[in-house]
Structure 1
Amino acid sequence: MNKFKYYFVLLLAGLAIVSCNKKDDDEVVVVPLRDYAVQYKADNDSIEKYLKTNYITVTENYDVTIAKIPAGGTQTSIWDQQEYPLRIRPVSSRGVDYKVYYLSFREGVGERPCNFDEITVSYTGTFLDNKQFDSSYGVERNFNLDIYVTAPIIDGWPEIMPQFRVGTRNATGTDGSFTYDGYGAGVMFLPSGLAYYGNPPAGIPQYAPLVFSFKLLALKRSDLEYNASTQTKVGDGVPSYLEDLNGDGYLYDPRDTARYPTLSDDKIEDTDKDGIPDFLDFDDDGDGYTTRFELTKPTDQIGWGTLDGTSFYFGIRNYYPWDPMTDDTNTPNVDETEPRGIPRRPTGKLKDENATESIDNPRSFVPEDYTAPGRLRIHLDKTYPYQKK
Structure 2
Amino acid sequence: MKLKNSIVFAITFISLWSCKKDDGPEIEVVPPRSLIEVAAEDDAEILEFLSTHFFNYEDFLNPQEKFDYKIKFDTIAGENGRKTSILDSGELPGIEFGVETISVASSSFGIDDGEVADHKLYYLIARQGSGDFPTIGDNSILRYEGLLLNGTLFDGSSNQPLKFYLSNPGLRVGFAQAILKLKTGDSFTDNGDGTVSFENYGVGVAFMPSGLAYFNTRAGSIPAYSPLIFKLDAIAYEKDTDYDGDGIPSILEDLNGDGNLNNDNTDGDFSNSGPVYNHLDTDDDGDGIPTIEEINLDSEGKFESVRDSDGDGIPDHLDKDS
CA distance in 2, matches of 1:37, 1:141: 33
Shift of residue 65, structure 1, vs aligned partner:
0.8
Partner SS, residue 156 of structure 1: helix
Shift of residue 177, structure 1, vs aligned partner:
2.6
* Residue 254 (structure 2) pairs with residue 291 (structure 1): no
Whether contact under 8 Å (1:342, 1:377) holds in the other structure is: no
Partner SS, residue 163 of structure 1: coil
- For this pair of structures, how many residues does the alignment match? 279
Shift of residue 172, structure 1, vs aligned partner:
1.2
Shift of residue 205, structure 1, vs aligned partner:
1.8
Cross-structure match for 1:36: 35
Q: In structure 1, which of residues 68, 72, 79 is the aligned counterpart of residue 75 of structure 2?
A: 68
Where do 1:1-389 residues align within 5 Å?
13-15=14-16, 18=17, 26-58=25-57, 59=59, 60=63, 61-70=68-77, 73-81=81-89, 82-83=91-92, 84-94=95-105, 95-148=116-169, 150=170, 154-220=172-238, 222-225=241-244, 235-244=245-254, 250-254=259-263, 278-280=278-280, 282=282, 290-295=290-295, 315=299, 317=300, 319=301, 321-322=302-303, 341-342=304-305
1:248-289: CA deviation from partner (whole Å, max 9, x where unpaired): 7x32433xxxxxxxxxxxxxx67x797986434556689996
Whether contact under 8 Å (1:19, 1:199) holds in the other structure is: no
Q: CA 1:26 to 1:116, structure 2 compared with 1: closer, same or farther past 3 Å? A: farther
Q: For residue 224 of structure 2, what is the amino acid of its counterpart?
A: Q
Shift of residue 209, structure 1, vs aligned partner:
0.7
Shift of residue 43, structure 1, vs aligned partner:
0.1
Q: CA 1:381 to 1:40, structure 2 compared with 1: closer, same or farther past 3 Å? A: closer
Shift of residue 110, structure 1, vs aligned partner:
3.0
CA distance in 2, matches of 1:159, 1:65: 22
Q: For residue 177 of structure 1, what is the amino acid of its counterpart?
A: T
Q: CA 1:381 to 1:133, structure 2 compared with 1: closer, same or farther past 3 Å? A: closer
Larger Rg: 1
Partner SS, residue 50 of structure 2: helix
Query: Alpha carbon RMSD of aligned pairs, Å?
Result: 3.8
Shift of residue 71, structure 1, vs aligned partner:
5.3
Whether contact under 8 Å (1:224, 1:279) holds in the other structure is: yes
CA distance in 2, matches of 1:19, 1:31: 10
Partner SS, residue 246 of structure 2: coil
Shift of residue 26, structure 1, vs aligned partner:
3.8
CA distance in 2, matches of 1:122, 1:344: 40
Whether contact under 8 Å (1:109, 1:183) holds in the other structure is: yes
CA distance in 1, matches of 2:188, 2:314: 35
Q: Which has the higher contact order (CA 8 A, sep 6+)?
A: 2
Q: CA 1:125 to 1:26, structure 2 compared with 1: closer, same or farther past 3 Å? A: same
Whether contact under 8 Å (1:115, 1:161) holds in the other structure is: no
Normalising by structure 2, what TM-score? 0.71
Q: CA 1:175 to 1:247, structure 2 compared with 1: closer, same or farther past 3 Å? A: farther
CA distance in 2, matches of 1:42, 1:96: 12
Identify unmatched segments of 5+ residues in structure 1: 1-8, 226-234, 255-268, 298-313, 323-340, 346-357, 363-375
Q: CA 1:243 to 1:105, structure 2 compared with 1: closer, same or farther past 3 Å? A: farther
CA distance in 2, matches of 1:175, 1:239: 35
Whether contact under 8 Å (1:90, 1:97) holds in the other structure is: yes
Partner SS, residue 305 of structure 2: coil
Q: For residue 46 of structure 2, what is the amino acid of its counterpart?
A: I
Q: For residue 77 of structure 2, what is the amino acid of its counterpart?
A: P
Q: For residue 87 of structure 1, what is the amino acid of its counterpart?
A: G
| Percent identity for Structure 1 against Structure 2 | 31
Q: For residue 294 of structure 1, what is the amino acid of its counterpart?
A: E
Whether contact under 8 Å (1:19, 1:33) holds in the other structure is: no
Normalising by structure 1, what TM-score? 0.60
Partner SS, residue 218 of structure 2: coil
Shift of residue 117, structure 1, vs aligned partner:
3.6
Identify unmatched segments of 5+ residues in structure 2: 1-10, 106-115, 270-275
Shift of residue 140, structure 1, vs aligned partner:
1.9
CA distance in 2, matches of 1:253, 1:26: 40
Q: CA 1:281 to 1:138, structure 2 compared with 1: closer, same or farther past 3 Å? A: closer
